[in-house]
Structure 1
Amino acid sequence: MSSHRKLKLRAVVLGAGLMGRFHAAAIASAGGTLVAVVDPDLDRARTLAGGAEAFASLEGLRGREADIDVVHVCAPLPVHVELIEQAIALDAHTIAEKPLAPDAAATAALISAAEERGLMLVPVHQFLFQPGIQRLLTGRQRFGTLVRCLFESTTAGADTTGFDPDELVHEILPHPLALFSRFAPVPLEELEWLVVRPAPGELRAIAHASGTTFEIVISTRGRPTRARLELVGTRASAQADLYHGFAIVDRGAATRLRKATRPFTLAAATLGHAGGNLAVRVARGETAYPGLRELVRRTYDAVASGSPPPIAPRETLAVALARDAILGS
């Protein structure tokens, strides 16, 4: 595979909609080559493909296995399983939008099929690879013992896409679970969730382990729209802005001066990190979905070097199992 990396990995994008466009940009950023775009709307596929080939289905790539290294699945969830199976049949590594499949059983079957062929199957849990989250993971010891981990998302996706509000919540759910899998003191699948659904398009879930509380708040009605992760530890806390990809750490010193100046220091830190983050993203031409390009880059590097994927299969399955547990509550 190292020779492939030298010649650029060859990628196919399945789905020429919004996410397909961002994946195409991530492929270029990672040093890959877009060789084909597949979409039932052939005109849309041609528009995204540019100088690459365009097809209405994967049938157009049958017999072309030697020309494809990675397939990016950016199509709607109902066709994920079929498209991932077809990508695996092409002997291609696969990067797929989350969730990989409707449930954990289907996810496990896809992981098994990929492993049998020595292929990677990587879900797009891009929040894990944002600079802010990477900084928190690298310096997690600064928090002391983690007391609380909160994910909150308020989204207007149901208004702008026409998605069923509950289905949208279900598609967002892998995000907090992927984040919690990196911070939880126990395996994710061991958490027992208490779930409340106050209204359509609303979900609240809470679990605890080893003194740490994990909370999920997803709302299709709350405004303004945002996505954030809050960590509270015995020595420090942090806030991560998941829409923009940065995080700030709030030291835990309990002094009168600290209490008096905290609103100002937090405001200054937020402004500084937000400004620096925006400057970097503008320079890179990264207008949305921070973390996606880094996830794709790490996956491509892993394919080229034969090293483990950036998201291990067991972690992918743990997220799917936890999602099933919450949706089944």
Structure 2
Amino acid sequence: MTSATRIRVAVIGAGLMGRWHAYAAVRSGARVTAVVDSDQSQADRLAARYPGCRAISDLATALELSDVVHVCTPTETHVPLARAALTAGKHAVVEKPLASSATDTAALLSLAASHGVFVCPVHQLVFTDGVRRAHTSMQRIGPVRHVGFVLCSAGAAGAGPGAPGRVALEVLPHPLSIIARLFPDALGHAAWSVRHPAPGEIRVLGQAGDLTVSIVVSMSARPTKNTMEILGVRGAVYVDLFHGFAVRYSGNVSRARKIAQPFLHGAGHIGVAAANLALRIVRREPAYPGLVPLLRAFYAAVASGGAHPIAPSETLAVACASDELMALVSGVRTSLRTEGDDAPGWRG
């Protein structure tokens, strides 16, 4: 295999994420050759969008028709589907979280290495223009003192009583993956505390050396948003993770700047947001910024045998931090049931 344009992709799961993965795969130069879903009519509809693509009911046939398998199914199915693909010598792109535990994640990474293939979690936010600009801006605003994330999502709306808690936990890899990329040693040395005031509501505080981290996840707060702010001693960077852009703010201090600051910030935000929207229109990127750059990098690594765009050590660091936070959330739940509603709910 010498070119990403020759890569054949099988999409497992023809729901919303499967549809976006198929679109992004084609935008990244691959061919969608197979779609697998337990709902045959849904698989038929997605396959019909791509010439030469087959809607198939069994995984084995899909594996024969593909070089890379995209797993876009519920979390509990990720490990068996990814394991089947890797064992068959196929590369795998797996929606977040890659697996339900760090142990399973490590096992998949080991299996991939033993078969000479790659397994890639969909940590696409790391590949957005906004996060990349934030990364390059850190030298200009640093040393960095704090990074904070706020994620208010409607992703659990109408999905049943257990959905808010499940979805809140499933989105945690996104901020953790950004921390792992921007601050490579932080996750391995961070001390965490968690507050879990209600299902679908998670508040995280962390510290790694001089760096502090906050993560707010809410399934009920509105408006919906997904933002990151990096605060340094010489300035700050605001990142809109929904739309994939970043704005850097100067840390210069003066009375005049203090008066003008709301106007400067507003003008900067509007200008960058407008330019970003225009660029996304040109790129034909209606949603999920970062997914196409991630897939292009992954397909290039598959085609050339080059470096994985997300190092296995980075993938495992995110999984270990996710395990730790989920354990803390579980401990808070147990504490609240045992101690009553007045319990403070912090664990760390």
Secondary structure of residue in 1 paired with 2:146: strand
Q: In 1, distance between residues paired with 2:151 and 2:90?
A: 33
The answer for the alignment partner of 2:164 in structure 1 is 165
Q: Output the TM-score relative to the length of structure 1.
A: 0.95
The answer for the alignment partner of 2:336 in structure 1 is none
Q: In 2, distance between residues paired with 1:272 and 1:23?
A: 30
Q: In 2, distance between residues paired with 1:231 and 1:271?
A: 19
1:187-223 CA distances to partner (integer Å, 9 max, x unpaired)?
A: 4122111111011111011111221101111011111
Instruction: Give the Å deviation of 1:262.
Output: 1.0
The answer for the alignment partner of 1:268 in structure 2 is 267
Q: In 1, distance between residues paired with 2:159 and 2:272?
A: 31
- Please, which moves more after superposition, 316-325 or 160-169? 160-169
The answer for the alignment partner of 2:54 in structure 1 is 53
The answer for the alignment partner of 2:120 in structure 1 is 122
CA contact (8 A) 1:40 1:57 kept: no
1:63-93 CA distances to partner (integer Å, 9 max, x unpaired)?
A: x2xx421111111111001110111122111
Aligned residue pairs, count = 324
Instruction: Give the Å deviation of 1:184.
Output: 2.5
Q: In 2, distance between residues paired with 1:83 and 1:113?
A: 13
The answer for the alignment partner of 2:99 in structure 1 is 101
1:20-53 CA distances to partner (integer Å, 9 max, x unpaired)?
A: 1111111111111111011111111111112301
Q: In 2, distance between residues paired with 1:282 and 1:161?
A: 31
1:203-254 CA distances to partner (integer Å, 9 max, x unpaired)?
A: 0111112211011110111110000001000111011001111010011001
Q: In 1, distance between residues paired with 2:306 and 2:136?
A: 20
| Alignment of 1:71 onto 2:69 | yes
Instruction: Give the Å deviation of 1:136.
Output: 1.1
The answer for the alignment partner of 2:145 in structure 1 is 147
The answer for the alignment partner of 2:176 in structure 1 is 177
Unaligned segments of structure 2, at least 5 residues: 329-348
- Please, which moves more after superposition, 107-116 or 44-53? 44-53
Secondary structure of residue in 1 paired with 2:288: coil
After superposition, the CA RMSD in angstroms is 1.3
| Alignment of 1:278 onto 2:277 | yes
Secondary structure of residue in 2 paired with 1:193: strand
| Alignment of 1:225 onto 2:219 | no
Matches within 5 A, 1:23-34: 23-34=21-32
The answer for the alignment partner of 1:83 in structure 2 is 81
CA contact (8 A) 1:185 1:210 kept: no
Q: In 1, distance between residues paired with 2:92 and 2:154?
A: 29
Structure 1 ranges of 4+ moved more than 4 A: none
Q: Output the TM-score relative to the length of structure 2.
A: 0.90
Amino acid at match of 1:9: I
Same amino acid, percent of matched pairs: 43
Q: In 2, distance between residues paired with 1:229 and 1:286?
A: 21
CA contact (8 A) 2:187 2:317 kept: yes
CA contact (8 A) 2:10 2:62 kept: no
Amino acid at match of 1:244: H
Instruction: Give the Å deviation of 1:174.
Output: 0.3
The answer for the alignment partner of 1:22 in structure 2 is 20
- Return closer, same or farther for 1:25/1:253 CA change in 2, 3 Å cut-off: same
CA contact (8 A) 2:145 2:210 kept: yes
Instruction: Give the Å deviation of 1:160.
Output: 4.2
Q: In 1, distance between residues paired with 2:58 and 2:168?
A: 29
Instruction: Give the Å deviation of 1:185.
Output: 6.2
Secondary structure of residue in 2 paired with 1:54: strand
